[in-house]
Amino acid sequence: MNKPLLSLLLLATLSFTACKPKHASPVGRPRLVVGIVIDQMRWDYLYRYYDRYGEGGFKRLLRQGFSCDNTMINYLPSFTAVGHTCIFTGSVPAFSGISGNDWIEQATGKRMYCTDDSTVKSVGAEEPESKEGKMSPRNLLVSTITDELKISNNFRSRVIGVSLKDRAAILPAGHAANGAFWMDDSTGHFITSNYYMPRLPAWVDSFNNGNRIGQFVHNGWKPLYALNTYGQSDTDDQPYEGKFKGDSTTAFPHNLDSSYKIGKSSFRSTPFGNTLTLDFAKAAVEGYQLGSGEFTDFLTINCASTDYVGHMFGINSIETEDTYLRLDQELAAFFDYLDHKLGKDEYTVFLTADHGAAHAVWYMQNHDLPADYWLTAPLIDGLNKVLSAKFGVNALVDTSSNYQIDFAMQSIEAHHLDFEAIKKTSLGWLRQQPGINYAVDMADLGSAAVPEPIKTMIVNGYYFKRSGAIQLIPNAGWFEGRGKTGTSHGTWNPYDTHIPLLFMGWGIHHGNTNDQVFMTDIAPTLAALLHIQMPNGCVGKPIVEVLARK
pLDDT digits (tens, 9 = 90+) for 203-245: 999 999 999 999 999 999 999 999 999 999 999 999 999 999 9
Number of helices and strands in the chain (H, E): 20, 21
| CA 56/CA 328 separation, integer angstroms | 8
Who's near 346: CB < 8 A, 6+ residues apart? 30, 31, 32, 291, 505, 506
CB atoms under 10 Å from CB of 14, counted, come to 10
Residue 483 confidence class, pLDDT cut points 50, 70, 90: confident
Candidate list 71, 80, 146, 323, residue with the active-site label: 80
CB 357 within 8 A of CB 480: no
- What percent of the residues of the chain are helix, what percent strand, and what percent coil, each to the nearest 5? 40, 15, 45
Out of 3.30.1360.150, 3.40.718.10, 3.30.460.10, 3.40.50.300, the CATH code matching 372-476 is 3.30.1360.150
254 CB-side CA count, 13 A: 28
Tens of pLDDT, residues 296-315: 999 999 999 999 999 999 99
Who's near 26: CB < 8 A, 6+ residues apart? none
| CA 217/CA 169 separation, integer angstroms | 24
Highest-scoring range by mean pLDDT, 3-17, 163-177, 437-451:
163-177
Residue 538 confidence class, pLDDT cut points 50, 70, 90: very high
Residues of the chain above pLDDT 70, percent: 95
Superfamily for the 32-97+137-191+206-365+492-546 domain: Alkaline Phosphatase, subunit A (3.40.720.10)
pLDDT at 26: 74
Instruction: Name the β-bridge partners of 184.
Output: 189
DSSP secondary-structure letter at 117? Answer: -
pLDDT at 516: 98
The domain segmentation of the chain, as residue ranges, is 32-97+137-191+206-365+492-546, 372-476
pLDDT at 199: 97
Who's near 548: CB < 8 A, 6+ residues apart? 507, 508, 509
| CA 491/CA 474 separation, integer angstroms | 8
| CA 250/CA 216 separation, integer angstroms | 19
Average pLDDT over residues 274-283: 98
| HEC per residue, 320-365 | HHHHHHHHHHHHHHHHHHHHHHHCCCCEEEEEECCCCCCCCHHHHH
- pTM, two decimal places: 0.94
Average pLDDT over residues 173-195: 97
Which residue, 38, 48, 63, is CA-closest to 327? 38
| HEC per residue, 157-176 | CCEEEECCCHHHHHHHHCCC
Tens of pLDDT, residues 488-523: 999 999 999 999 999 999 999 999 999 999 999 999
| CA 531/CA 527 separation, integer angstroms | 6
Q: How far is residue 54 from each of residues 59, 283, 381, measured CA to CA in Å?
A: 7, 24, 51
For the sheet containing 501-505, what is the strand order?
Answer: 122-123, 189-193, 179-184, 159-162, 297-303, 32-38, 347-352, 501-505, 66-68, 511-513
CB atoms under 10 Å from CB of 388, counted, come to 14
Tens of pLDDT, residues 12-60: 443 433 333 333 347 899 999 999 999 999 999 999 999 999 999 999 9
Q: In terms of pLDDT, which residue wins out, 382 or 6?
A: 382
CB atoms under 10 Å from CB of 263, counted, come to 14
Of 215-224, 429-438, 475-484, minimum mean pLDDT range? 475-484
Residue 128 confidence class, pLDDT cut points 50, 70, 90: confident
| HEC per residue, 395-448 | CCEEEEECCEEEECHHHHHHCCCCHHHHHHHHHHHHCCCCCEEEEEEHHHHHHC
CB 160 within 8 A of CB 33: no
| CA 393/CA 52 separation, integer angstroms | 59
Active site residue 487: no
CB 172 within 8 A of CB 210: no
CB 285 within 8 A of CB 31: no
Q: 3-class DSSP state for residue 256?
A: helix
Tens of pLDDT, residues 75-124: 999 999 999 999 999 999 999 999 999 999 998 999 999 999 999 999 99
Residue 416 confidence class, pLDDT cut points 50, 70, 90: very high
Who's near 174: CB < 8 A, 6+ residues apart? 88, 137, 140, 143, 144, 145, 146, 147, 150, 159
| CA 158/CA 466 separation, integer angstroms | 32
| CA 57/CA 508 separation, integer angstroms | 17
**pLDDT mean across residues, the chain:** 94
| CA 177/CA 155 separation, integer angstroms | 9
pLDDT at 550: 53
Secondary element (H or E) of residue 480 = strand 478-480
CB 103 within 8 A of CB 398: no
CB 102 within 8 A of CB 466: no
340 φψ region: left (φ > 0), alpha (ψ -120 to 50), beta (else): alpha
